[in-house]
Amino acid sequence: MNIDSKLIKPVTETKYLTADNVWRYRPILRYFYDQYEKIKYWMYKEEVFEELKKNEMFKDYTIEQCKQDLDVLLEWGNLVAMQDTSKASTIEEFRNKQFRYQLSEYSVEIERMTIKLENIFIEGASLEPTLFERIKDEVLKISSMAGKDIKVVGPWWRDLNTDFKRLNQNYQDYIRSFYSLKAEELMRTKEFIAYKDAIIEYLREFVKELQKNFYIIEETLKNLPEEKVEKILEKAWKYEKSIPRLDNSEVTDETLIENIKGRWKNFRNWFLGGNKTESEAVKLFEITNDIIRKITRFASQIIENRNSAANRKEEYRKLCKMFLSCRDIDEAHKLSSLTFGIFHTRHIKGNIDRETESINSGIFDEAALELKIKPRIRHYRESTRRTPIVDKSKRKEKLLKKYIQERKQEQEVMDSYIINNIIDFTELPLVPSHVRITLLKWIGKGTASFDYTGKTEDGREFKLIKPENDQRCILKSEDGNLEMPAYKIEFMLKDKKLDAKAEMKIEYEREIEESAI
């Protein structure tokens, strides 16, 4: 056994299988893997969050938790992130770094390993056009399989599923390689030209074989009666059930038949499509054609860049001959102005609102704009305008009267709840929100005092009486109900005249209000 550095290093990509938040990490990677099978490799965090919220288990899940989970999986190497700047319209959006996420190669293989019941067949990334021929031959036998023995139907069912799995996984892995960052970089290099023709020919042979057999398979599946399908699936189930195994003691008959029907549904949808969705075969046509166009486009750009560099040398050589043939310096200046334009030009930039967005509009076609330019000297200061002091005494007096009137009205409202110098919270009707706030403020003053006494804003002293036997009540207010102890507030002053301290306090509040105005 050869023990090297790869063998002894820890595989951090498997941490999500045993982490504390495994119930969140595994569904996220399983969703990435499901989308990976549908040729959708890059996704935003909002797509992952919306998919998870469909499950009752994630009803309290937030977008911030989703972002944290994606960052953890990114740190462990399960995901690969790339900043998406295509939708950034401002500098702030660019700084916020909207990322797209993709499954790493390790995670793909780990997810395949975890889906043990589906028996996913892993093989190197390649396209096998002969699989279409084999699948077509197996599909043409479907009608005759309804009357065959289970020992014939079982191996036929297994061969069909094995070929379909190999076809599905092989083309996914192979095509995925063309959408990786490494492939994008490789296609832009000159060395890619040598492989261009071989890759295009390889893809075209695959497409030809798909076109040759796809329509036969599609027509056969469309005209297949459901009764025959039910009989075949039942015989396949009986065959699988008849095989003695030691590790399937917990697999029920319902699980086995559901697995077989699910495989048939996936096989049928791959060629015929589902509800309002295209079949995977049609998507495969589009994807392969898109890859061929992409390869051709990159190759033409490389060739064009190579040719443009060669043509530019000829242009420079021709331009040098034209300058050498000038009779004097004035003629050379004229040729230079036509070739290179005007030297030492000054451009003024600013936030200018144009009247039109037309690119054909010239500078003389638009209205003139005046800009004030400040002198660039060290001690320059803008002139300040002197503003006279405005007499606001009448306005202050008006605001003060309004303030006193409001305070008086509030006091009258509070007095309406006092019965025999006591406010009993158990007998209070529905009160406005500002009354509730004032009452709770008085309770707070009383509980904060060691003898449960306090003073109101107008100087009246009161005592807070605690409820007997921990009695509770509900304080009804316009903005909701509050369950609380059944307090009583007893006022110690029977008359409503203000004492000297209260008058001084009100006068002091008025002075503060005037200064604020």
What are 489-516's pLDDT values in tens digits?
888 854 444 454 455 555 556 555 555 5
Least confident of 195-199, 220-224, 265-269, 439-443: 195-199
Which CATH number, 1.10.10, 1.20.140, 1.10.150, 3.30.70, labels domain 10-112? 1.10.10
Question: For 54-154, where are the E strands, in sequence order?
Answer: 79-83, 99-103
Question: What pLDDT, on a 0 to 100 scale, did the predictor assign at position 123?
Answer: 43
Residue type, 498: L
Quickly state the pLDDT bin for 117 (edges 50, 70, 90). Answer: very low
pLDDT of residue 156: 87
Q: Which of 367, 365, 366, 363 has the alpha carbon at shortest distance from 347?
A: 363
Percent of the chain with pLDDT over 90: 4
Angstrom distances, CA of residue 82 to CA of 42, 100, 291, 507: 9, 5, 21, 66
Q: What is the pLDDT of residue 322?
A: 92
- Retrieve residue 181's tokens: 């960052």
- The residue that leads in pLDDT, 98 or 259, is 259
pLDDT score at 511: 58
Q: In the chain, which residues fall in CATH 1.10.10?
A: 10-112
pTM above 0.75, yes or no: no
The whole-number average pLDDT for the span 68-90 is 79
d(CA 190, CA 188): 7
Please, which pLDDT band fits residue 373 given cuts at 50, 70 and 90? confident
Give the model's pLDDT for residue 493.
58
Of 241-255, 369-383, 441-455, 477-491, least confident by mean pLDDT is: 241-255
What pLDDT shows up at residue 194? 67
DSSP code for 452: S
Residue 121 clears pLDDT 50, i.e. is over it: no
What would the pLDDT profile of 210-223 be if each residue is shown by its tens digit? 888 888 888 888 88
Measured between alpha carbons, how far is 481 from 476 in angstroms, rounded to an integer?
5
Does 124 score more than 50 pLDDT? Answer: no
Average pLDDT, the chain: 79
Give residue 92's pLDDT. Answer: 55
Determine the pLDDT at residue 309: 57
Q: Which two tokens mark 94?
A: 């660019």
| pLDDT (average), residues 322-343 | 89
Q: Is the pLDDT of residue 325 over 90?
A: yes
Contact (Cβ atoms closer than 8 angstroms) between residue 236 and residue 154: yes
Burial 356-390 (b: 16+ CB within 10 A, else e): eeeeeeeeeeeeeeeeeeeeeeeeeeeeeeeeeee
Q: What is the pLDDT of residues 162-193, one digit of tens each?
A: 888 888 777 777 777 777 666 767 776 766 67
pLDDT in tens, 280-293: 888 888 888 888 88
**Is residue 133 within 8 Å of residue 123, measured between CB atoms?**
no
At residue 509, the pLDDT reads: 60
Distance, CA of 490 to CA of 510 (rounded, Å): 28
State how far the Cα of 517 lies from the Cα of 400, in Å rounded to an integer. 9
Starting at the edge strand found earlier in the chain, the sheet holding 488-491 runs: 422-424, 488-491, 461-465, 453-455
Does 198 score more than 90 pLDDT?
A: no
Cβ atoms of residues 281 and 273 within 8 Å: no
Cα dist from 509 to 331, 404, 407, 513, whole Å: 87, 11, 12, 6
Q: How high is the pLDDT of residue 497? A: 45
